[in-house]
Structures are given as structure tokens and as C-alpha cells.
């Protein structure tokens, strides 16, 4: 009986604490391979891109994770770096990997007509 | 054997005992069951909570928490678990596991004697469904958030688990499940229609067993955590199917039976009387189904905006409408039909209150059918999201099972309205069948019963037509 109790408590710990630790450990291990940046997509009237300006390292592989938290579709492009995600549907998260091979400051923007203020859904990316 | 047959086909006394098969009885008697199910479920709920927290305020269609809780779990509850297996969800529910662990000091073994905690008795005036009725109704005020915002689902589920634990610290056994849990209330109500039950096998065996170990417990199992008396309980409403009575009965006199759906609707005894709290639960569930359908699956965008709190004024108008519709308008309309029923019956003996309460149970099959129809409207268009979220539960770009990039694919949505309509009609027929029997129980005189039944039949038919119109558009 005592052995069974120990097994039950072990399973309980595995289902709770170890699960939470495991989830974050896997993600940390996965992200260690890239320079990862999280970008939130929102129409300008709801806050616009967040962050709207950011810096990426030159020549290093980047994982850009774009989270559309809204109920409309957005798109994403950095034309100068030839990076694009054609469609990020409502609630979807899209990851794009690329290596910035130009230094400077470049605009990025939404590529799907998402609201009346779509044209202002823009930001700046600096590669250095 | 009874000659009373459901639709002239199935004897109402028919039972098929699943636990007569030795492996199933052995499983039910094992202390690992349902513990392993609960732990597995807890693991899933931990993932749901993490996904809810990580998903935050984003739209929930690609969120594991939202999709699993509101698409899979809710639909499974309404489509399969409750109608077929009664309260089998409660068997594997992880919400009270922490309070059970605290009270018992053990997860696997049986603690003999007094449990930990204050062990207070639940106040007598709250030993009914009213807290669950109001709690569930209030929860639905926020449905526009829970079903679309992951963080709201995290707060709801986290809050329920925390509340279950706190109540377990203060009150004895499973009072949270019995009288507070919002999921428990509607399961209790609709489990009266379920096609399965847990009951004692032979009353003589129980009568000759002076120590009622199913109630008091022994070294093999706890006394009923739901504080029922398994040796003589009569309906599913408050049986959480925890299976402790299978373990604690030394004579193997408990059974898990399949049965004709709905036989509990005819129970109205001194021990298990029909009550106003359960009647109101039936109204609330029906009212919520009407509100939910119009808000989430209907074509009225303005109403959707109110539910989703686009403006504070719109939202509070919705809350006022929703509350008054469920607590006053719908029961009020039914009261009018009950009054007509009394008037037509010309009976002086049967009170209006009794007519109102007893006939409210006819809404149970119909209400369940409406919820099944509503659930089809959730799973058929949105089920494909499940394939996405099991591969990428936290929207971090994972692809565990290779299904993360599958596009949203509605399934057989062209047939949806017809399926909903057929389901509705089948459950309407169950309502009519049981309603007719309830009328005969209420009014022993057949003519009085027939006259009294007519207004209620009209009410049920009107509700069915309204939903047929909503489903088939």
C-alpha cells in the first residue's frame, strides 16, 4: 500500500509540477538555437505592432514569432530583407526564420487590409 | 417486470449490469480507478491552464485551453458523457483532487477515522441546487470572454480549482461538488435523463448488512464522499460516480447499469422529491441555451457585440436581459402554462406549485436535446482547430504531431441544421413521453391528466418550433 501511495504521489507531481517545468524547459531548449523575438500584431486603433521598433543582430539566425491576438487577419513583411508572412489568421501565431544580411533601419508592415487604419500598421527594425 | 414501456418498446425496469463482467467489477474495485483517470485529466488541465495563461488576451481559436475546454470538453459532456454515462465526468474530474488529498492525507490509500480540515457540515438551507443555479448563471454572464480569451478561461478554471480546495478545507467531504460546482449542477439535472446509473443490486443484501460501509467506509473504500446512502438512493442527480461504494461494499452489491434514458424523471418520492431548485435549473439551462444560440450561432451581430462587451452599456443590458430572461421571463411563461394546466384540469387537490415543479422536469430531455444541437453547432465547424492545437498547444510554433499547419476545415456543416433538427425532435418526443407520464402521476384521474397535460404539451411544442426555426434558419 505504501509503495502504491508513493507511486500515486509521484504521478501527481509528474502531472503538475513536472509538467509545468517540462513545458518551459522544452521551449527554452528550442529557443536556444535562435535569437527569438516575439511580435504582437494589432490594428493601429488597438495598439499597433508591439514592439513597434526593435533591433536584430546582423548575420545571426533570427526566429520572429508573430502573434495575432485580434479577430481579423494580418500579414507581415520586411521588404528590404525579403521576409514575408502572407497571412496570420485571427488568433494564430506564425514563426518566420531568417538571417538579417543587411545593416540599417528598415520598415516592416502589415500586408493584409485589416482595418481603416491598415496603412499605419507599420514599424521599424534595426539590424546592427 | 414492469409493463410500462418507453415508446412501447423498452421496459422502464430494464437494466443491463455492466459490472457483472468480472474485469469491469475488478476495475471499479481497484483503488487505481478512477485515480489514474483523474491524474491523466489533471495533466491535461495543467496544460490547459498554462496555455490559458500564455495565451493571455489573444483570440482563442488557436489556443489549447479555449479549444479543449469549450470545443472538446463541453461538447463531449453534452453529446456523450451526460446523456449516456450520467455524471461520469465527475468520476474523472480533477477539480476536487487537491481537497481530497488534503482531507484524506492520502491519494491512493484509505484513511480511517476523521478527515483533515474543519469538517464543517454544509448549511442545511443551502443543501440544494440554488448556489449552483446562480453560480452557473453568473458564470454565463462572462461567456463572451471565457470562450474567446484564453486568460479568462485560465481565471475561471483556476478559480474553480482554488474554490474547491478552500471549501474542502472548511467543509466535510465533497460539499463543493454537491452544492457549489457550476459544472455539477447541470450534470446532476441532465443525468436524470442519462442511459446509465449506479444503484444497489439486491435490497435484501443491504437490509441484512447492518454496517452500511458504503456510507461509513472501511479499509477498502471511503464512505460516500457525496454523503449519499448508496444502499438506497433513487436517482442520479447527486451521485458523483466516484465508485467508492463499489470498493467499500463487501458483498459486491453495487452495480453500474445501462437503462432506458430518463427513468429518473418519474421519481418523486419523500426521499427524492421533485424540487423548485431543480425545476429552476431546467429553466436556467433552457434559457442559457436560447441566449447562447442567439449570441454565438445566430446571425444577430448587434447581440454578439453586447455579449462581448463592445460597449459597457451594451454589456450590462445583455446581463440584465440574460438574468431576467432566465430567472423571471421563462419561468413566468411556464408558470402561465402551468396555471392553464391547473385551470384545464379542474383539480382542487393538486397545487399550482406542484404542477409548475413537476412539469418543469419535462424540460430536461428537451433542454438536453437543445444543448446537443448547440454542441453540434460548435464541433462541426470548429472541430478541426483541435488538430492544430494538440500539435501546438501554447502557440509557440511547436508541431508535436505534425498537424499544426492543418487549415481550419468545417465538417459536414451543410448537414448541421438537419442533424440539429432531428436531435431536437427525438428529444422532444422523449419530453412528450415523460410529460404524459408525469401528468398521470400528478393527476390520478386520466381525464384530468389529459386536460392538464395539454398546455404543457403546447409549451414544449412552441419551444421546439422556436429551436427548429433557429437551427434550420
Could you report the per-residue pLDDT of B72-94, keeping only the tens digit for each? 999 999 999 999 999 999 999 99
B147 interaction partners in chain A (CB closer than 8 Å)? none
From chain B, the residues in CB contact with A27 under 8 A are 394, 396
**HEC-encoded secondary structure of chain B:** CCCCEECCCEECCCCEEHHHCHHHHHHHHCCCCCHHHHHHHHHHHHHHHHHHHHHCCCCHHHCHHHHHHHHHHHHHHHHHHHHHHCCHHHHHCCCCHHHHHHHHCCCCCCCCCCCCCCCECCCHHHCCCHHHHHHHHHHHHCHHHHCCCHHHHHHHHHHHHHHHHHHHHHECCCHHHHHCCHHHHHHHHHHHHCCEEEEECCHHHHHCCCCCHHHHEECCEECCCCCCCCCCCCCHHHCCCCCHHHHHCCCCCEEEEECCCCHHHHCCCCCCCCCHHHHHHHHHHHHHHHHHHHHHHCCCHHHHHHHCCCCHHHHHHHHHHHHHHHHHHHHHHHHHHHHHHHHHHCCCCCCHHHHHHHHHCCHHHHHHHHHHHHHHHHHHHHCCHHHHHHHCCCCCCCCCCCCCCCCCCCCCHHHHHHHHHHHHHHHHHHHHHHHHHHHHHHCCCHHHHHHHHHHHHHHHHHHHHHHHHHHHC
Q: CA nearest B85: which of B199, B197, B243, B239? A: B197
- Nearest by CB to A69, which of B36, B39, B57? B57
Name the A residues in 98-127 with CB < 8 Å from any B CB.
Answer: none
Percentage of residues in chain B having pLDDT higher than 70: 99
The SS3 of residue A34 is coil
Contacts of B398 in chain A (CB under 8 A): 30
Q: Do B56 and A20 touch (CB under 8 A)?
A: no
Mind listing the pLDDT tens digit for each residue in B104-146?
999 999 999 899 999 999 999 999 999 999 999 999 999 888 8
Contact A19 B57 (CB under 8 A): no
Task: Tell me, yes or no, whether A61 and A13 share the same domain.
Answer: no
Considering only CB atoms, B395 lies closest to which of A12, A16, A67, namely: A67
Query: Taking 90 as the threshold, does the pLDDT of residue B296 lie above it?
Result: no
Q: Which residues contact B223 (CB under 8 A, 6 or more apart)?
A: B213, B214, B215, B216, B217, B244, B248
> What is the count of structural domains for chain A?
2
Give the domain range for residue A16: 1-32
Confidence (pLDDT) at B300 = 86
Does residue A47 share a domain with residue A28?
A: no
DSSP annotation string for A36-96: EEEEEE--GGGT-SBSSEEEE-TTS-EEEEEEE-SSS-EEEEEGGGTEEEEEE-TT-EEEE
pLDDT at A91: 83
pLDDT at position B412 over 50: yes
Q: Is A25 on the interface with B (CB under 8 A)?
A: no
Quick one: A59 and A85 in the same domain? yes
Q: Are residues A28 and A45 in the same domain?
A: no
The answer to whether B439 and B337 are in contact (CB under 8 A) is no
Q: Determine which of B103-117, B319-333, B394-408 has the lowest per-residue pLDDT on average.
A: B394-408
Average pLDDT of span B402-420? 92
> Measured on CA atoms in the order B387, B388, B394, B396, is the torsion positive or negative?
positive
Q: Pick the residue of A37, A40, A93, A114 with the most B CBs within 10 A to test the interface with B by mutation.
A: A93
Helix (H/G/I), strand (E/B), else coil: A111: coil
Neighbours of B289 (CB within 10 A): 22
Low-confidence winner among A72-81, A110-119, B55-64, B399-408 (lowest mean pLDDT): B55-64
Asked if A78 and A51 sit in the same domain, the reply is: yes
Q: Which residues pair with A123 in a beta bridge?
A: A108
Choose the weakest-confidence range: A47-56, B68-77, B152-161, B297-306: B297-306
Q: Nine-digit cell at B318?
A: 445583455
Convert the pLDDT of each residue in B241-262 to its tens digit: 999 999 999 999 999 999 999 9
Q: What is the pLDDT of residue A100?
A: 96
- Most distant pair of Cα atoms in chain B: their distance: 70
How far is B67 from chain A, CA to nearest CA, in Å? 12
Query: Which chain A residues contact residue B43 at CB under 8 A?
Result: 14-16, 19
User: Which of A6, A10, A15, A25 is the best mutation test for B, with the most CBs of B within 10 A?
Assistant: A15
Backbone angles phi, psi at B17, to 5 degrees: -85, 115
pLDDT, tens digit, 9 for 90 and up, residues B41-54:
999 999 999 999 98
Cβ distance B59 to A7 less than 8 Å, yes or no, reads: no
Show the cell assigned to B132: 449552483
Half-sphere exposure at residue B114, Cβ-oriented, CA atoms within 13 angstroms: 6
> What is the reported pTM?
0.91
C-alpha cell at B135: 453560480
Looking at residue B1, what is its pLDDT? 44
Chain B interface mutation, best of A5, A8, A37, highest count of B Cβ atoms under 10 Å: A8
Q: Would you state the cell numbers that stand for residue B176, as one nine-digit string?
A: 463543493
Q: Which residue from A19, A69, A94 is facing B46, i.e. has the nearest CB?
A: A19
Residues of B whose CB is below 8 A from A12:
39, 42, 97, 101, 107
Q: Please state the ipTM of this predicted complex.
A: 0.91
Q: pLDDT tier at B2 (50, 70, 90 boundaries)?
A: low
Least CA distance to A27: which residue of chain B? Answer: B396
Query: Residues B304-313: what's their mean pLDDT?
Result: 90
CA distance A115 to chain B (A): 17
Same domain (yes/no): A27, A76: no
Q: Which among B58, B110, B408 is the top mutation candidate for probing chain A, defined by the most A β-carbons within 10 Å of its own β-carbon?
A: B58
Distance CA B189, CA B321 (A): 24
Spatial contact of B104 and A2, defined as CB atoms under 8 Å apart: no
| The predicted structure's pLDDT at residue B473 | 75
Give yes or no: residues A67 and A22 share one domain. no
Whether residues A7 and A55 share a domain: the answer is no
pLDDT of residue B237: 96
Shared-domain flag, residues A13 and A72: no
Distances (CA, A) of B52 to A35, B61, B155, B304, B435: 25, 12, 8, 23, 43
Same domain for A109 and A123, yes or no, is yes
Would you kindly state where each structural domain of chain B is located, as residue ranges? 15-273, 288-473
**Is pLDDT of B214 > 90?**
yes
A5, A6, A18, A23: best to mutate for the B interface, most B CBs within 10 A: A23
The answer on A122 and A99 residing in a single domain is yes
Comparing alpha-carbon positions, the chain A residue that sits nearest to B50 is: A20
Residue B87 and residue B187 in contact, taking contact as beta carbons nearer than 8 Å: yes
Q: Is A13 on the interface with B (CB under 8 A)?
A: no
Task: Determine the 3-state secondary structure of A120 from DSSP.
Answer: helix
Is the confidence at residue B410, as pLDDT, over 50?
yes
The rounded distance, in Å, linking the Cα atoms of B325 and B33 is 42
Residues A60 and A6 both lie in one domain: no
* Interchain contact, B43 vs A92, CB within 8 Å: no
| B108/A1 CB distance under 8 A | yes
Cβ <8 Å between B50 and A8 = no
| pLDDT number for residue B3 | 66
CATH of the domain at A90: 2.60.40.420
> What percent of chain B clears pLDDT 90, i.e. is strictly above it?
88
State the smallest CA–CA distance between residue A68 and chain B in angstroms: 7
* Inter-chain CB proximity B397 and A65 less than 8 Å: yes
Please give the average per-residue pLDDT across B180-193, as a whole number. 96
- Chain A residues with CB inside 8 Å of B46's CB? 15-16, 19-20
Q: If DSSP codes are grouped into helix, strand and coil, which group holds residue A5?
A: helix
The Cα–Cα gap between B249 and B218 comes to: 9
pLDDT of residue A32: 87
What pLDDT does residue B171 have? 97
Amino acid at each position: 500500500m505504501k509503495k502504491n501511495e508513493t507511486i500515486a504521489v509521484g504521478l501527481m507531481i509528474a502531472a503538475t509540477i513536472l509538467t509545468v517545468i517540462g513545458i518551459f524547459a522544452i521551449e527554452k531548449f528550442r529557443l536556444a538555437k535562435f535569437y527569438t523575438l516575439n511580435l504582437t500584431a494589432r490594428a493601429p486603433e488597438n495598439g499597433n505592432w508591439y514592439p513597434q521598433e526593435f533591433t536584430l543582430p546582423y548575420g545571426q539566425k533570427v526566429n520572429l514569432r508573430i502573434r495575432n491576438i485580434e479577430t481579423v487577419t494580418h500579414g507581415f513583411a520586411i521588404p528590404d530583407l525579403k521576409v514575408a508572412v502572407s497571412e496570420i489568421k485571427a488568433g494564430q501565431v506564425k514563426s518566420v526564420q531568417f538571417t538579417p544580411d543587411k545593416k540599417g533601419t528598415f520598415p516592416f508592415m502589415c500586408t493584409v487590409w485589416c482595418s481603416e487604419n491598415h496603412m499605419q500598421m507599420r514599424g521599424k527594425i534595426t539590424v546592427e | 417486470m414492469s409493463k410500462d414501456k418507453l415508446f412501447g418498446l423498452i421496459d422502464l425496469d430494464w437494466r443491463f449490469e455492466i459490472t457483472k463482467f468480472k474485469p469491469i467489477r475488478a476495475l471499479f474495485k481497484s483503488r487505481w480507478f478512477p485515480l489514474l483517470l483523474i491524474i491523466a485529466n489533471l495533466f491535461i488541465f495543467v496544460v490547459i491552464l498554462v496555455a490559458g495563461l500564455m495565451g493571455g488576451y489573444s483570440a482563442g481559436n488557436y489556443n489549447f485551453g479555449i479549444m479543449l475546454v469549450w470545443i472538446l470538453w463541453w461538447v463531449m459532456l453534452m453529446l456523450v458523457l451526460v446523456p449516456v454515462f450520467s455524471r461520469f465526468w465527475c468520476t474523472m474530474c480533477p477539480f476536487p483532487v487537491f481537497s481530497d488529498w488534503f482531507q484524506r492525507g492520502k491519494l491512493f490509500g484509505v484513511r480511517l477515522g476523521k478527515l483533515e480540515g474543519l469538517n464543517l457540515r454544509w448549511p442545511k438551507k443551502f443543501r440544494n441546487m440554488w448556489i449552483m443555479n446562480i453560480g452557473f448563471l453568473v458564470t454565463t454572464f462572462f461567456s463572451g470572454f471565457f470562450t474567446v480569451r484564453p486568460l479568462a478561461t485560465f481565471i475561471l478554471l483556476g478559480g474553480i480549482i482554488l474554490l474547491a480546495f478552500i471549501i474542502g478545507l472548511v467543509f466535510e467531504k465533497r460539499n463543493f461538488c454537491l452544492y457549489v460546482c457550476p459544472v455539477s449542477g447541470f450534470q446532476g439535472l441532465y443525468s436524470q435523463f442519462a442511459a446509465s446509473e449506479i444503484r444497489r443490486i439486491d435490497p435484501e443484501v443491504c437490509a441484512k448488512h447492518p454496517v452500511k460501509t458504503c456510507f461509513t467506509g472501511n479499509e477498502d473504500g471511503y464512505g460516500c464522499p457525496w454523503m449519499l446512502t448508496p444502499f438506497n438512493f433513487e436517482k442520479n442527480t447527486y451521485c458523483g460516480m466516484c465508485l467508492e461504494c463499489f470498493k467499500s461494499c463487501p458483498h459486491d452489491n453495487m452495480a453500474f447499469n445501462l437503462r432506458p434514458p430518463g427513468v429518473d424523471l418519474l421519481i418523486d418520492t419523500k426521499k427524492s422529491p421533485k424540487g423548485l431548485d431543480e425545476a429552476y435549473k431546467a429553466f436556467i439551462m433552457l434559457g442559457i441555451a436560447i441566449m447562447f444560440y442567439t449570441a454565438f450561432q445566430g446571425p444577430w451581430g448587434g447581440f454578439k457585440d453586447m455579449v462581448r462587451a463592445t460597449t459597457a452599456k451594451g454589456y450590462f443590458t445583455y446581463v440584465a436581459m440574460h438574468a431576467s430572461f432566465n430567472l423571471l421571463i421563462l419561468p413566468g411563461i411556464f408558470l402561465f402554462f402551468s396555471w392553464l394546466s391547473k385551470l384545464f384540469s379542474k383539480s382542487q387537490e393538486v397545487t399550482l406549485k406542484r404542477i409548475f415543479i413537476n412539469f418543469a422536469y419535462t424540460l430536461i430531455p428537451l433542454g438536453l436535446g437543445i444543448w446537443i444541437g448547440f454542441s453540434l453547432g460548435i464541433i462541426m465547424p470548429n472541430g478541426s482547430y483541435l488538430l492544430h492545437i494538440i500539435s501546438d498547444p501554447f502557440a509557440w510554433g511547436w508541431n508535436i504531431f505534425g498537424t499544426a499547419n492543418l487549415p481550419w476545415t468545417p465538417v459536414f456543416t451543410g448537414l448541421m441544421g438537419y442533424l440539429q433538427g432531428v436531435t431536437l425532435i427525438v428529444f422532444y418526443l422523449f419530453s412528450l413521453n415523460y410529460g404524459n407520464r408525469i401528468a398521470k402521476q400528478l393527476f390520478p384521474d386520466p381525464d384530468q391528466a389529459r386536460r392538464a397535460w395539454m398546455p404543457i404539451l403546447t409549451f414544449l411544442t412552441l419551444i421546439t418550433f422556436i429551436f427548429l426555426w433557429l437551427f434550420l434558419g
